[in-house]
Structure 1
């Protein structure tokens, strides 16, 4: 993996939310010194989210999704107590977080638990291939092929084709954005929306927010560069990067489904996410953009604060209004 050079410029930091900084920063990790150390970090991750697994209102089923490159493991998450169990429901493909180098089907999935319970949605979370084991476009292909599989199984999954969407957190949100562009270009499944939570979109890592948060609270830019070097190898930061892999590279975002994008003001991805929303608007696509002042990366997942509650409430309200609009 090529070491991506660190820019020299520095900028003052906007303040973090005063409640969040009272919590221990458990998300700030040193870089792995070797592939073996990265694999060790993966092995230390909890294999499940016990809060989800033990929730009496949820049903979890293991799935296998066939793709041209093999079989992906996945889980489906649905409501155990749906008021109208036979009614067609929203279907959401979920792409987990973890920098594209770590993570499993449960990482970030709690962001959609309320949607499953309140809206009787079915969420399918996939174990896409991780880097550096698999480079470049492999994980995006996994997400796209999972969209295709879901679209071919609407009846069996009891999904309403008009309420079929994709969602992701962090690295998974970047993969979701890439899969949406791929689906447009390949005349693939039609999606009603894309929910991009603090998406990882740009391998160049040269925005103001990247420079501000070189070593900030939680996930920081040095890790961002490392993750991209695992995904792209020597191509990271060069001109030869596909917009499917790094959607910030795309200049034509026309004819895409509307997007809901949220991000904290205190994290590296802030400015690339704002730029992505701006490009969507420029191309005639609607985007709902929320920048939460004082939030570090994934603040609404890791910290139970007023700011986190505001972010989750706003997102859930949008999902409810959009998926059940008349």
Structure 2
């Protein structure tokens, strides 16, 4: 197809072949090699601590990275961050800049989760790790200087899908209470039966074939069948009542666009306060080009929305 990409994104469109998910281990190695030698992020004004916290029964320790605004005092809001990567790639480090930005400008403690990846660890490993991190965050809120009544979940791509799933788990399992869910380009529906998923088969880096591989690695042969739990694919949940307020983003040329918009509409119908924004001219991996105007707009909106949700 011919796409009308934003001018800032045209030149980079051919640079994402490394995101082929046919062999996740090989792709992880390539991404790690590509990141070698990059300067460490600027942590000025933020205290960064790496910890291992109690996980679910089958994974006793889950790595997290805690970002705390320096000299910020007590009773801060908190954001549980869940990185993307199609459930199969990604590391805590890839979200350093985002988490540092949230910590500084939202004035929040950020806890970023290094959850287990498929296909070595298929569903429910990753989402249970993320839910364990939420429980730890809420349970140690006082020690972290966090107000347990102001915890948000935030995730991008597969991380957005995991954030939505964690919100469902918290509702159904009686807590911890989540004040807000920020679902950024979320991957939510293993059935992949939307116009955007059928149409965007060749968009840069993330496209319909990669989405199919992602779900197959995560769910195995049951991907797309009737035997898929709602915590694996939140779009399958019919009752979204009682969930926390949400902000949902999507991009015009993203195969996940329509499932994100549909999830926002289901939240509306369930009486959940929700805002949604579809950014035009952008493909899924545009967020990896921080200098693009559309990426800068998304980053500014993230700060604005989280500030309002967590500080009022």
TM range (shorter): over 0.9
User: Is 1:147 the equivalent of 2:137?
Assistant: no
Q: For residue 115 of structure 1, give the secondary structure of its aligned residue in structure 2.
A: helix
1:187 aligned counterpart, secondary structure: coil
The C-alpha deviation readout for 1:247-272, integer Å capped at 9, x for no partner, is: 11111111000111112111111000
Cα 1:265–1:51 shift into 2, 3 Å: farther
- Structure 2 residue 284 is matched with structure 1 residue 297: yes
TM-score (norm 1): 0.89
Q: Retained in 1: the 8 A contact 2:190–2:233?
A: yes
Out of 62, 69, 94, the residue aligned to residue 72 of structure 1 is 62
- Displacement after TM superposition at 1:302 (Å): 2.1
Q: Which residue of 2 aligns with 1:221?
A: 208
Choose which of 127, 130, 138 in structure 1 pairs with 2:117: 130
Residues 261, 290 of structure 1: 8 Å contact kept: yes
Please name the residue that 1:324 is paired with: 311
1:105, distance to aligned residue in structure 2 (A): 0.7
Q: 1:206 to 1:114 in 2, by over 3 A?
A: same
* Stretch deviating more after TM superposition (13-22 or 69-78): 13-22
Q: Which residue of 2 aligns with 1:116?
A: 103
Aligned in 2, Cα 1:109/1:287: closer, same or farther, shift over 3 Å?
farther
Give, in angstroms, the shift of residue 301 of structure 1: 3.6
- The normalised TM-score by structure 2 is 0.92
The Cα RMSD (Å) is: 2.1
State the 1:88 CA deviation.
1.1
Q: In 2, are the aligned partners of 1:261 and 1:289 still within 8 Å (CA)?
A: yes
For residues 195 and 244 of structure 2, what CA distance do their matches in structure 1 show? Answer: 28
Of 185, 189, 198, which aligns to 2:176? 189
Unaligned ranges ≥5, structure 2: none
**C-alpha contact (below 8 Å) 2:43/2:100 kept by paired residues:** no
- The 1:292/1:63 distance shift into structure 2, 3 A limit, reads same
Question: What's 1:6 paired with?
Answer: none
* C-alpha spacing 1:30/1:102, structure 2 compared with 1 (3 Å): closer
Relative distance call for 1:47 and 1:86 in structure 2 (3 A) is: farther
Unaligned runs of 5+ in 1: 1-11
| Structure in which a larger fraction of residues adopt helix | 2
Displacement, 1:115? 2.3
Contact 1:136 1:231 in 2 (8 A): yes
8 Å contact from structure 1 (residues 110, 301) kept in 2? no
User: Aligned partners of 1:103, 1:143: CA distance in 2, in Å?
Assistant: 14
Deviation at 1:41, TM superposition (A): 4.0
* 8 A Cα contact 2:47 2:69, kept in partner: yes
CA distance in 2, matches of 1:49, 1:322: 34
Matched, 1:179 2:169: no
Q: 2:43 aligns with which of 35, 44, 55?
A: 55
For the structure 1 residues 274 and 125, does the alpha-carbon distance in structure 2 shift closer, same or farther, using more than 3 Å as the test? same
Task: State yes or no: 1:22 paired with 2:11.
Answer: yes
Aligned to 2:93: 106
- CA deviation map 1:256-297 (0-9, x unaligned): 001111121111110000000011111111111010001111
Kindly indicate whether residue 245 of structure 2 is the aligned counterpart of residue 258 of structure 1: yes
